[in-house]
Structure 1
Amino acid sequence: MKDVNYKMWTLCMVQDEDRVLMLNRTHDNFKGYIAPGGKLEFPESPIEGAIREVKEETGLIVKNLRFKGIYEYVNEEANDRHIILNYLTNDFSGELLSDFTEGIPEWVKISDLEHLPMQQSIRRRMPFFFQDGTFEIHVVWEDGEKEVHIRET
């Protein structure tokens, strides 16, 4: 059995009635809208990481996070597994940052999400946040960055 390189991230959708908080990213290779989140810092738990990332990126303090699902990329050639744990909350306090580095925090109507620019990986899981239950999306990558197999449950 080969050693696998595991990398874990969180993403937390913050909901306020018919709106969600999104970051409008205008830098690096990950442009477009995305919910707050980021890489877990060892040894924090996934929920601790999600809470920290929301605070760092938006200024809001979140609690009572609900687990919504797993989105993962597997690159068999590189022995990499990237796991993104997805959460949803409507329990938050604080004020949005006026000085931000990860993207401009914006409240967006849920009905407008489908019209916003965002990467396919974000768009693919967006509907699952607003449905009952949890989701698992498993993406296999080969030859660099080519999706060759996607399983949604």
Structure 2
Amino acid sequence: MSENIIYKIWTVIMIQDGDKVLLLNRQHDKFKGFLPPGGKVDFPESFVDGAIREVREETGLEVSNLVFKGISEFVNPAVNKRYIMMNYWTKDFTGELLENPSEGELHWVKIDEAKELPMQEDIKIRFDLFFEKGTFEIQTVWNEEKNRPEEVFIKKT
């Protein structure tokens, strides 16, 4: 059965500067709302290299010293798909923000105000976990028929 499963891997990088984080206000396709920069990992690049590349492409910043915070995933048993997101945090970056990035407007947002913005539910679920000690694993089981999450499991270590 595992040979029939479609796997897709993304990265998300929470970039912190003091009491603020960098978020994209993404308004295209089905992933709308404020979210950290990130994107698909190209084969055969490493997860960290993919994360660094995505931040550079989406923001113009060069990030370093990424801290692995956890894995979040969507599992859709009805269509044999598993979407895996590698989540990182950093406070180390150089460069200037892009003026007109293609993925959405860039905003430095106060951490304690960020979840008040329009944000995808899965980003809200893991947002605070980026700033806690340890790592996390979040699994969301998708209900294809109802087109919504069926169950969400959160484990912290």
Post-superposition CA distance 1:84-129 (Å, at most 9, x none): 0000000100000012100111100101112111110111110100
Q: Structure 1 stretch 105-114 or stretch 23-32: which is displaced more?
A: 23-32
| TM-score (norm. length: structure 2) | 0.94
Aligned-pair distance for 1:143?
Answer: 2.2
Residue of structure 1 in register with 2:94 after alignment? 93
Q: Quote the Cα distance in structure 1 between the aligned partners of 2:83 and 2:32.
A: 19
Larger mean CA deviation between 139-148 and 108-117 belongs to: 139-148
Q: Tell me if 1:151 matches 2:153.
A: yes
Which residue in the other structure is 1:42 paired with?
43
Residue correspondences, number: 153
For residues 106 and 58 of structure 1, what CA distance do their matches in structure 2 show? 10
Task: Give the superposed CA RMSD.
Answer: 1.0
Distance 1:139 1:109 in 2: 27
- Deviation at 1:25? 1.1
- Structure 2: state its 5+ residue gaps: none
Q: Distance in 2 between matches of 1:143 and 1:27?
A: 22
- Report what 2:138 is aligned to: 137
What TM-score do the two structures reach when normalised by structure 1?
0.97
| 2:18 maps to 1:17 | yes
The letter of the residue matching 1:108 is V
% identity of equivalent residues: 53
Task: Describe the SS at the equivalent of 1:139.
Answer: strand
Deviations 1:13-46, CA, capped at 9 Å, x for gaps: 1000110000011222222100000011111000
Matches within 5 A, 1:100-139: 100-139=101-140
Paired with 1:94 and 1:56, the residues of 2 have a C-alpha distance of: 12
Task: Name the amino acid aligned to 2:149.
Answer: E
Work out the CA distance in 2 between the residues paired with 1:16 and 1:137.
25
